[in-house]
Amino acid sequence: MLGEQIIKGLAVTAKNFFGSYVSEERLPTLQYPEERQTLPEASRQFPFLVFDGDDPMKGLRCVACQICEKECPPKCIYIVKSKDKRVDYKGQMQLYPATFDIDLSVCMSCQICVEVCPFESIKMDTDFELSNSDRFGGLLVHKQQLAKSNEHYRKIHPNDAAISDAALAVEVAKAQAKAKADAETKAKVAAETKAKAAAQPAPAA
Amino acid sequence: MFDCFRMVHEAKTESGPMAAGLANPAAAPALQNYQLLPKPTGDGELLEISMGPQHPSTHGVFRMDVVLDGERVVKLKPVFGYLHRNHEKIAEGTSYLSSIPYTDRLDYFCSMTNNWAYCLSVEKLAGLQVPERAEYLRVILAELTRLQNHASLCGFLTQDMGASGTPLMYAFREREKILDLFEAISGARMMCNFMRFGGLRCDAPIGWLEQVKKVVAEFPAFLDEFAALLNQNEILMSRTQNVGVLSKELAISAGITGPMLRASGVNYDLRKVDKYGIYDRFEFKVPLGDHGDVYDRYMMRVLEMRESIKILQQALPQIPDGPIVDPKAKLRGFRPKAGEAYGRIEAPKGELGFYLISDGSPNPYRYRVRPPSFVNLTILEDMCLGHTVGDIIIILGSVDIVLGEVDR
């Protein structure tokens, strides 16, 4: 019969229509600002800079190596290296970013900066409510706004943060072992030179 | 040649003139009685109209210069380039790694397969080996991409035919479930940026594979529902059957690939031809069309979704544990030795290929994309000639274009 399949199709539509009043999974609407979806842990929006300790500016892990600036596909990161050096988390003297800006209107949330960073210092945030009435200045965020604590990172990405913390602990242990070994060699060399110095006058005399 | 099956229109011969004409080509003249519009006489005045780039049914910023005799098309010139964003030249100026997020934006429905094609060509260039687990995850992600692309195409195509919203809504409801899986594994719904040279960016989170199993198990129910809703619908069949016929010979000589080629009856699927990745381990069939019309192209997508589910059902239980990236692959300072490579995969829209020339520097010397929907679009005029303006829309819809990929 002509039109039989149309009626069959309309039955499907009717089933879906009435089903939407009965079945819970057919009611996916969330009343947004009051109700919120739980985001998956991998969720990513825009980058932030991780700092350790209490002072955001002093504790920044970033050493201004500019790898992320170079690798960033849309080139939205702008870094100026500092003139002086300061002690980093490993106890070594390192540069720090005098300026670290990210233009959020250019950033495409691709996470390449996070992957290439060798210092675990830039990570992806999950905050997406960043609308701003200032179109140019408001979306250009500086290091003061970008700096967020490691606790914040642990909260939003617990699994990734555990891996990152473990990697840093290894680095610190390595650096300490190296410092210790260095100190030992230094002491040894110093002792040897001293011994030599002590031994040298003997043949002359 | 390959394991395939031929699709036969399940048209009931007694159910009306439009279906009868198609199951049996000899009965085709019966259709002529239902010709509502007069045939072009050739003595009327020609009318040239510009469709697009703001036309809502051109699937993006695509323009067609159409010359009409009455309501019939006598000439059609596709005009594209409105979304050109210099993808190839940008990629030649940045490192190999930095191009991956840009490949997401080519065909923004299928970022996973775009990533795969690019990574495949870089892996050929640098000689990287992909670990077993990563290969399985790649197949799973690519087939999920195919499911959601074909589902939304069926929705869009019926939307173009005037089924205003309902099938599209049902298709998008299913697509959203797959996009949730993508968000859980990669962090983004559409711009996944997930595959890396020699593997994947990270492993699947705990419980993700169980979620995939659930979605895959529920998907056939959607296909059955969609079939009941539309596949045999008389209006759909009369709008699509014998419209936009693409012959086998023309399809081959124009370089058409993907479901559009197979709808014309050519048994060619890169998953069977190249057996890239681990596709030789799975049993699946290649559906083939008989007529090469819009209905065949529509049914091709529906049938391919069933085959994708078969692949997923085989891949999900087999997935081994292990690393997900080749230890030789480097993120920073990646410099493949000088040479050239062409990597191609069967993307949901056809053969997607990336051609790379390396001169040993951190960025490619030449970077070329072979986009399937761009090549498939070149044949548009031949399919549209003699049809009405309303038919152009559904012929264009059945090609399955994404302008991000056409214009690059």
- % chain B with pLDDT above 90: 14
On the question of pLDDT at B14 being above 50, the answer is: no
Asked if the Cβ–Cβ distance from B170 to A111 is below 8 Å, we say no
Average of per-residue pLDDT across B322-339? 83
**How many C-beta neighbours within 10 Å does residue A186 have?**
10
Of A57-71, B28-42, B53-67, B125-139, the range with the highest mean pLDDT is B125-139
- Here the tokens at position A46 are 């825009």
Distance from CA of B64 to the nearest CA of A (A): 32
Query: Of the ranges A189-198, B33-42, B246-255, which one carries the lowest mean pLDDT score?
Result: B33-42
Q: Residue B16 has what pLDDT?
A: 33
**Residue B24 or residue B131, greater confidence:** B131
In the predicted model, what is the mean pLDDT of residues B395-402? Answer: 87
Cβ(A69)–Cβ(A35) under 8 Å?
A: no
| Cβ separation B15–A43 shorter than 8 A | no
Distance of CA B84 to the CA centre of its chain: 20
Res. B204: pLDDT tops 80 = yes
- Residue pair B377/B78 in contact (Cβ under 8 Å)? The answer is yes
Percent of chain B's residues with pLDDT above 70: 89
From B97, B228, B235, residue closest to A112, measured CB to CB: B97
Question: Which of A1, A12, A44 lies closest to B187 in CB terms?
Answer: A44
Q: How confident is the model at residue A132 (pLDDT cuts 50, 70, 90)?
A: confident
Sign of CA dihedral B177, B182, B185, B186: negative
Q: Are A77 and A101 in contact (CB under 8 A)?
A: yes
- Mean confidence (pLDDT) of chain A: 83
Which residues are bridge partners to A72 per DSSP? Answer: none
What is the model's pLDDT at position A201?
A: 62
Number of continuous H segments (helices) and E segments (strands) in chain B: 16, 10
Task: State the best of B10, B13, B98 to mutate against chain A, taking most chain A CBs within 10 Å.
Answer: B98
So what's the pLDDT on residue B402? 87
Q: How far is CA B148 from CA A38, A98, B220, B239, in A?
A: 23, 46, 13, 24
CB atoms within 10 A of CB B85: 11
Instruction: Provide the token pair at A156.
Output: 């939003």
Q: What integer pLDDT is reported at residue A202 of this predicted model? A: 58
Place of tokens 């964003």: B85
CA B182/CA A112 separation, integer angstroms:
18
Cα A160 from Cα B146, distance rounded (Å)? 30
In this prediction, residue B144 carries a pLDDT of: 92
Residue labelled with tokens 């060399």: A189
The more confidently predicted of residues B82 and A201 is B82
Please name the member of A5, A40, A43 whose beta carbon is closest to the beta carbon of B234: A5
Cis peptide before A158 (omega within 30 of 0): no
- β-pairing, B46-51 with B63-69? antiparallel
Distance from chain centroid for Cα B387: 24
> Can you give the pLDDT at residue B59?
77
What pLDDT, on the 0 to 100 scale, is given for residue B127? Answer: 86
Unique residue bearing structure tokens 């000639």? B385
How close B357 gets to chain A, by Cα (Å)? Answer: 20
Q: How far apart are CA B26 and CA B6, in angstroms?
A: 20
What's residue B17's pLDDT? 35
User: What is the spatial distance between Cα B154 and Cα B17, in angstroms, rounded to a whole number?
Assistant: 25
Length of chain B counted residue by residue: 408
Mean pLDDT in residue range B338-366? 90
CA distance B314 to B273: 20
Of residues B143 and A164, more confidence is placed in B143
Q: What is the pLDDT of residue B148?
A: 92
Q: What is the pLDDT of residue B10?
A: 42
Mean pLDDT confidence for B393-408: 87
Higher pLDDT, A119 or B41: A119
Contacts of A122 in chain B (CB under 8 A): none
- Report residue B395: phi and psi, to 5°: -65, -45
**pLDDT for B19 beyond 80:** no
Tell me the average pLDDT of chain B: 83
d(CA B217, CA B225): 14
Provide mean pLDDT across the span B152-176.
86
pLDDT at residue B5 is higher than 70: no
CA-wise closest residue to A8 among B235, B35, B115? B235
Residue B203 dihedral angles phi and psi, to the nearest 5° = -80, 160
Name the band, by pLDDT with cuts 50, 70 and 90, for residue A61. confident
| Cross-chain residue pair B205–A159, CB shorter than 8 Å | yes
Cβ-based contacts of B101 with chain A (< 8 Å) = 73, 108, 110, 112
What per-residue confidence (pLDDT) applies to B11? 38
**Partner-chain contact A12 B229, CB within 8 Å:** yes
Q: Is residue B123 helix, strand or coil?
A: helix
Answer whether A3 sits within 8 Å of B188, measured CB to CB.
Answer: no
Scan for tokens 């020609």, then name that residue.
B46
Size of interface A-B (CB pairs under 8 A): 82
CA distance, residue B226 to nearest chain A CA (Å): 9
Q: Quote the pLDDT of residue B25.
A: 42
Q: What is the mean pLDDT of residues B38-49?
A: 68
B77 phi/psi in degrees, rounded to 5: -120, 115
Model confidence at B41, in pLDDT bands (50, 70, 90)?
A: low
Residue A197 CA to its chain's centroid (Å): 52
Instruction: Specify the amino acid at residue A108.
Output: M
pTM: 0.83
